[in-house]
Structure 1
């Protein structure tokens, strides 16, 4: 195609240039096409320049921006291409700036712009409601693609009430809308929202809807978060009624659900029934075994995975290292941690270092755990330091306590900034430090830590346990019943607070 392209110089050969753009994705060849378009005069046609910008946006964002800035006359298509490229790029806020320029140029956005604009808004944590209002102003807030993007954006920003409102106001709901709202609640991790996700799935069934595989997977994630095996089994049975083929994605979701609910026998049965497995299927089975204390069996599955030439990823190694941690297999865990980089070429991330530190701390190897923390190529977060603190509390090593407290204060981890530069009060550290001091009856220190918590306005979220009996999930809280000051004896009791 490039040979044909070099043989023409007349504008009437624009079809050849457009065909060359459709068949080319290499940035070097695209630059040749751009040069030919400029020399032939086709570059000054808005449609051609927009197609060239769109082609660069899919392969070379920096040069696409250059071509976009040099466009003699920008069209809505070229603006949309750049908004789409920046929404998935390293600086999603550029999409909002380009959208603003698009409005100032007198062009009106269409239904193709807002999904990418909403994705950029969610990534850079800008107000989703502003884009929502703009879509409503142009009469596009009822478009199925825009509605789905609104649900994902509100969910990504933690605005679950707004997402539910958008869904409830939608009169004509598609399968994609149902999947988006249930997936939104599944990712929330909040008990009430997980229950709402399952309720929405039931509502879909009661209205005669036929759930597809993606909707079933989202509902299974809600069951896994609630630990509700009975409802997960009901979804499993429903799958056989509405869906004929056990896909890899659906099988992996079933394994994850059974594993998190403690049903390892059912998880293994589903695993054996999947005809064509992939790395995610093996990882789900390894994670379920690790979560339920079957560390050695998890390692056996990992070996079988490698022997069958399934390449493990970073999530697989997180599950395997956690299995070694809970099973006390320190030497095996250290070897796997080294092989992750040397054999499999996977760079260790924060969760891998956290699993290794937790593994060494559980084994009482605090010196080695401290060396691992010191060797990290990036600053350890509060989870890594919290693992060391927990190990000190369990092992009763007072010489580390003061050092850890000083280290936390030096790093500012009691009031830490997360990736989105929002201030996060580290409740876990303060509570853990208080428990460490209480373990050795250093009540004055306990009082000091508690005063810090009150001064910062820190409130620990009440923990609860879920217990499923006869298909109903019961939630229990621990409450204080009596305190005997003479012996420092605290009597705690369980109290059922909710039945679902």
Structure 2
């Protein structure tokens, strides 16, 4: 039986055992081109075992696959999916190369191969140039399942506004003529709505989920909270969290804390954090901590933010030893959100010594434009104008330009985006006229 020699490899393979297993396979004649069927099955089994290991390594899988090709053996439909899983963390261009190989070898009609390639493209969200290949692959697939729709939809949801709009068109196509969407499909569609600020479409997706009995799925509840918060409907997000999520995991609590923090409801966010850790006895992860810290920093509760990591210590916000202790005592590596929250809190406190220390540290990390501007503003707040000039000079040398802020609003089913100082909107004159009249009314009542 062709696959009998590789059947023992249907379990995760410790990479350290690859050499003795290869020696066994070679000595047993399992990898000889003369016994092509058995050799292909053995190679496929080895690749699958490597892909199932806790830390799949392309450094082992790729040489094994090259050895298979050099032996004049044609990979079967199960070899490429295993190789793609092992190489998920390698260069995104590898998916493109394996796509070409599958096309040459006539493997694309096999659903396992096409779906695995689509998942690889979907995982390469940092390489927008691969998106057209993913779309072409999807369109050429003879049979599309919910899994293939979900893979592409999740990729589009993490793309630009144009990609998210394409994702919603794909979702509509799935509803009209594709397989039945599941909770993962609806979660990806809600992510598209959140990115576009498309509240009406998000509500429609919510209604569809409710009709199909999927609204109470844990991952969908979290997606609904995120969508409503991003679209500006905090009350709807809170209703979903309070009433429609009977089983709330840590990600659901984190989504609601993040929503409250983003809407300047810092006290409510911290109260929810305390409830999560205390009453619910859930362990917050790094994202939960940073959301709570963000809420404190942007709601004038710097001291409460410092105490998040040591409730029993009494310290004054802005002291150098306090800020350093917060960072060093975090149960995770401080990320951009943590540094941003601390930067905001320190700017509020305006401690010159701390400003110098924190400013230098953030500048060394090279965290990007927003942090450069924040450090510059921090130095300006404490009167360190020489340092302000140095930061601005570095930004000019790197060709950095500050992006204009914008807001978006949905009107009659269309999302309008407004940039700061932008006059390109066709109703610009009417909008500014209305703003002036609103301002005049406010001044009358304030006066």
Unaligned runs of 5+ in 2: 32-38, 428-447
Report what 2:199 is aligned to.
229
1:165 to 2:121 alignment: no
- Normalization by structure 1: what TM-score? 0.68
Map of 1:123-202 to 2, 5 A cutoff?
123-127=89-93, 128-157=95-124, 158-159=127-128, 160-170=131-141, 172-188=143-159, 190-202=160-172
CA gap of 1:449–1:286, structure 2 versus 1, over 3 A, is closer
| 2:297–2:344 contact (8 Å) kept in structure 1 | no
Q: Does 1:114 align with 2:56?
A: no
Partner Cα separation in structure 1 for residue 8 and residue 299 of structure 2? 57
Distance 1:91 1:298, change over 3 A: same
**Secondary structure, in 3 states, of the residue corresponding to 2:323?**
helix
Asked if the contact 2:15–2:60 (Cα under 8 Å) also holds between the matched residues in 1, the reply is no
Change in Cα spacing, 1:161 to 1:306, as seen in structure 2 (3 Å) is same
List gaps (5 residues or longer) in structure 1: 1-44, 340-359, 417-425, 479-492
Q: Does 1:464 align with 2:406?
A: yes
The answer to whether the Cα contact below 8 Å between 2:297 and 2:341 also exists between their aligned partners in 1 is no
Rounded Cα–Cα distance in structure 1 between residues aligned with 2:140 and 2:383: 57
Give the Å deviation of 1:377. Answer: 8.8
1:76-91 superposed matches below 5 A: 76-87=40-51, 89=55, 91=57
Please state if 1:67 is matched with 2:27: no
Q: Which residue of 2 aligns with 1:288?
A: 259
Aligned with 1:55 (options 11, 15, 20): 11
Shift of 1:263: 2.8
Pairing 1:4-403 to 2, within 5 Å after superposition: 49-55=5-11, 57=13, 60-63=14-17, 66-71=20-25, 72=27, 73-74=30-31, 75-87=39-51, 89=55, 91-127=57-93, 128-157=95-124, 158-159=127-128, 160-170=131-141, 172-188=143-159, 190-207=160-177, 210-243=180-213, 246-271=216-241, 272-302=243-273, 305=276, 311-314=282-285, 315-327=287-299, 336-337=308-309, 363-373=317-327, 384-403=338-357
Mapped contact 1:147–1:166 kept (Cα < 8 A): yes
- The CA distance in 2 between the partners of 1:371 and 1:247, in whole Å, is 39
In 1, are the aligned partners of 2:229 and 2:237 still within 8 Å (CA)?
Answer: yes
Q: 1:462 and 1:183, CA in 2 relative to 1: closer, same or farther beyond 3 A?
A: same
- The structure richer in strand per residue is 1
Higher relative contact order (CA 8 A, sep 6+): 2
Distance 1:260 1:65 in 2: 51
CA contact (8 A) 1:467 1:473 kept: yes
